[in-house]
Structure 1
Amino acid sequence: MKRKRIDSLLKWKENNMNKPLLLMGGRGTGKTYLANDFAKSFYAKSIYINLERVPECHKLLEGEDVSIWIQNLLMISETYPYASKHPEDEKEPILFIMDEVSFYPPFMEKLEALIKANPPFQIMCITSFHSERYKKDDFFYILQLFPLNFEEFLIATGNEWYGETIRIHYASNKKLPDIVHRELLALFEDYLQTGGMPAAVNEFISMEGKYNISEQHRILASAYLWDAKSRNNEGDGLKISQVYSIMDKQLIKENRKFQYTLIRKGATHAMYGNAVQYITDTFYGIRCNKLAEEALESACKSEISSNILPQYKLYMADVGMLYSSLKQIECKHPDHIRKGLIENYVAQTLYGNGYPLIYWESNSQAKIDFILYKDNSIVPIEVKTGNITRSKNLSVLKSKCSYIKGAIKISTRNFEYSGDIKYVPVYAVFCI
């Protein structure tokens, strides 16, 4: 299954030989598969160890003598299925993959010796946890792997040419032919229900339909919760499970702001804040913070993240898992379910494109689903479930902020640009 992150891995291989790579991402997003596929495709020799499943691997890196490390690792590489026996490959770098580095190993700084060894090593660490420590010391070249976005889904399902077509029309704002537009909306419905977790996408492809997708999502969710409980004490594990179990219900309310009282009566941030943090740190939840109304003007003069409020929305990392979860819920307002799904899809796609997620409200007069900060201006994004896109929200926002040069409306409407508003079909969000 082709992942666009392979291009970033190749860039690291070619330009960052002396810096270890850290591949972060939620469990089930395909980190291990991607790393080993990369090793098989671009290295003559590689070594893979899993520090969590095979704790004995820690012994390979014990002690001060780096030469012993190298000797131990080379012994493994000789039996590794991708190892090359050609003499000309002996000077080529060896890719050393350490999986599930869910902490900061005491030997991490010593890895520089492996990079300078003969033959040299290139080091890739894989983790399912987010840590500011990894970013602050600038030791790693950091990449994050997300569930497949819609473009990758098109590639995986043999519809690659649609992706390039979408990008061309996104840039030109010219409408697609109606028949192509309808085909893409149908394909998007498949994606909405399948999501981007590789196991679910593979099931969709192999079964040529969505027959067993919900079961794949259930397995992924159960594995995640089991892992969360095994890594935390009983009380914290229970709280994480409780937060996870109501994430879907939070997203089908008319006001999708996260409310602790939906967990249980009397629940507060003090009780459950750490559980929410764990879910975001393990990449299964995406937090979207509220921008202070009075900070609209100043947000363009400083970093937008310094003007956020404690209120937030909590999206799921994969819209397909949300869809399967919502199938079990009775709701009197199907339009709320649809809105929650589409908004979650937009959130995960924008987050995957590297945007911090921010939303805005004006004393209940107007709501903007997402606020992007680009080129010293604010770009508001409204999400609609159909092709009717009229609303007063943007006019209210523009009256309060002079830094808005344009806006984006996401809906089932075809591409168009009118009145400083860029109309983007829901299937083209990956272009933003």
Structure 2
Amino acid sequence: MLKRKITRYLSWWKDNHGKECLLVNGARQVGKSYAISHFGQEAYDQFIAIDFVKNPELKSIFARSLDANEIYSRITLSIPRAHVIPGKTLLFLDELQECPEARSAFKYLAQDGRCDVIGSGSLLGVRFRSLNDAPSLPVGYERQITMGPLDFEEYLWGRGFDEQAISTLQGFLEREEAVPQAVNERMSQLLREHIAIGGMPAVVEAFLGGLDYGAAHDAQLMLHNLYLDDVAKYVPATDRVKARACYLSLPRQLAKENTKFQYSVVEKRAGARKFEGSVDWLVGAEMALSCRAVSTISFPLASYEDDSRFRLYANDTGLLMAMFDFSMKEAVVNDTLSGPMKGGIYENVAACMLSRAGVPLRYWTSRNGNYEIEFVVERAASPIPIEVKASRGSTASLNAALANDNVRIGYKCAGGANVGRDGKKITLPLYLLPFVFKHA
């Protein structure tokens, strides 16, 4: 069984939620249902699960009065052996996008308090857009968290690394001390492996069964097709072809020297008016990550966002790999890939790392276009530029950003690099990037 960080959060929530239900968002097939079900069976005396896709007839439980007494009565009538032990029962409402009334019931179930309640679903950011479908949101009675694919640390757990080993690795970052060469080479190789495999649990498990790249590729293709099926099923009819085309354009978008998302790459002479709704759907469905441009590297970054310029990354680099021929895995793992596509893939994995750490994605380019910083984040009321490179090289853009007095520190993250510091510039191997913001 893959170890996931969300289990720690669920344990914290169990002890501290008060009058709140928990809603776990996330893209399809990232492991939400499995993690919550395992937690419910381990941490509670009684666990009741309702899956509105597997058992659509159970939507009738929430089709009438949302009074808690009546809901629990209908649960015990509809589900054999569903016995509620007050204070010791977890009620798990899965695939909530199929039953908006169940989410509306959060308020009344939270006020009642006899059960802890967790809901989960996919496509929640896009499923309830029409007025006829929109639930009455339980404001004040719902806490939300987003679960993504496995991050690099979780991937290392799956590869057999324990907390002590990862703590040792973090120590080099905290001390700004070079990682021993053998360790650095091994971790860099594992990062390339993680790029090729990604973080979707089904793919990781297929790979770990025998370190089988072929099995992993087959699992990636299956999930890739599932995502395209979701586009065909859930995107409004007028945007389905356009949303599919935008998603499938990601490899071409990332292969450009300027990775600003360009509608003309999707279709010649096309513009935002035709495709921006499709892009919004992909981001809302968490199939893609949006990285907004900022006009200046200054705090607060949100005040300087330019909504007309953005970059788009795949939410899982492994699913990006599914858009290429199998030979791409060999090129990535053996580090023989070169050219702009290599840089685009390393940017994509850095975007995933930052997103999993809860860091908003933003980038900066100079007005004349001579300099660009792949990611600009903020911490302690100060902007932090992060330049990402597939291999070691010069950092003219980062040097220009660090010349600003309001920038205290910046990071160069590169494949094959090691930990080092030169004034305000800290160099890191890319595999250490997620640990920079682990406790931020």
**TM-score w.r.t. length of structure 1:** 0.89
Deviations 1:90-117 (A, max 9, x none): 3433211111222783454443433354
8 Å CA contact 1:70, 1:114 repeated in 2: no
Q: For 2:120, what is the secondary structure of its paired residue?
A: strand
Identical columns (%):
23
Q: Which runs of 4+ in 1 moved over 4 A?
A: 75-78, 132-136, 328-331
Residue of structure 2 in register with 1:126 after alignment: 120
1:194-245 deviation per Cα after TM superposition (whole angstroms, max 9, x unaligned): 0100011001111223122222111101111112211234332211111111
SS at structure 2 position matched to 1:212: helix
SS in 2 for 1:71: helix
Instruction: String of CA shifts for 1:385-405, please: whole Å, max 9, x gaps.
Output: 1233x2211232244x32100
Picking from 255, 277, 282, the partner of 1:279 is 282
1:173-188 map, 5 Å: 173-188=176-191
Alpha-carbon distance in 1 for matches of 2:268, 2:286: 27
The question of whether the paired residues in 2 share the 8 Å contact of 1:261 and 1:267 is answered with yes
Q: Unaligned 5+ residue runs, structure 2?
A: 129-135, 332-336
Alignment of 1:269-418 (within 5 A): 269-292=272-295, 295-296=296-297, 299-300=298-299, 302=300, 304-327=302-325, 334-362=338-366, 363-388=368-393, 390-399=394-403, 401-411=404-414, 412-418=416-422
Q: How does 1:64-79 map to 2 (within 5 A)?
A: 64=65, 65-75=67-77, 79=81
Letter in 2 for 1:179: A
Task: Return closer, same or farther for 1:364/1:219 CA change in 2, 3 Å cut-off.
Answer: same
Match of 1:115 among 107, 110, 113: 110
Contact 1:381–1:410 (8 Å) recurs in 2: yes
The RMSD of aligned alpha carbons is: 2.5
- What is aligned with 2:44? 43
Q: 1:209 matched to which residue of 2?
A: 212
Q: Contact 1:154 / 1:162 at 8 angstroms: preserved in 2?
A: no
C-alpha separation in 2, matches of 1:165 and 1:249: 38
> SS where residue 124 of structure 1 aligns?
strand
- The two structures have a TM-score, normalised by structure 2, of 0.88
Query: Contact conserved, 1:47 with 1:97, CA < 8 A, in 2?
Result: yes
Matched residue, 2:146: 144
Give CA deviations for 1:1-24 in whole Å, capped at 9, x if unaligned: 110111111111110032010101
Instruction: Name the aligned partner's letter for residue 357 of structure 1.
Output: L
Supply the distance in 2 between the matched residues of 1:153 and 1:220 (Cα, whole angstroms): 18
1:422 paired with 2:420, answer: no
Counterpart pick for 1:195 among 189, 195, 198: 198
Residue 105 of structure 1 pairs with residue 89 of structure 2? no
Inter-CA distance 138–249: structure 2 relative to 1 (3 Å threshold): farther
- Helix, strand or coil at the partner of 1:326: coil
The SS at the match of 1:95 is: strand
- In structure 1, give the amino acid aligned to 2:315: A
The residue number in structure 1 matching 2:132 is: none
Letter in 2 for 1:9: L
CA contact (8 A) 1:130 1:283 kept: no
Gapped regions of structure 1 (runs ≥ 5): 84-88
- Contact 1:66 1:113 (8 Å CA) reproduced: yes
Report deviation, 1:57: 1.2
How much has 1:163 moved relative to structure 2? 2.0
Report the CA distance between 1:135 and its aligned residue: 9.3
Give, as a single letter, the amino acid of the residue that structure 1 aligns with 2:322: S
Q: Aligned equivalents of 1:227 and 1:179: distance in 2?
A: 44
The match for 2:167 is 164
Q: SS where residue 102 of structure 1 aligns?
A: helix
Q: Secondary structure at the match of 2:391?
A: coil
State the 1:350 CA deviation.
0.3
Name the counterpart of 2:334. Answer: none
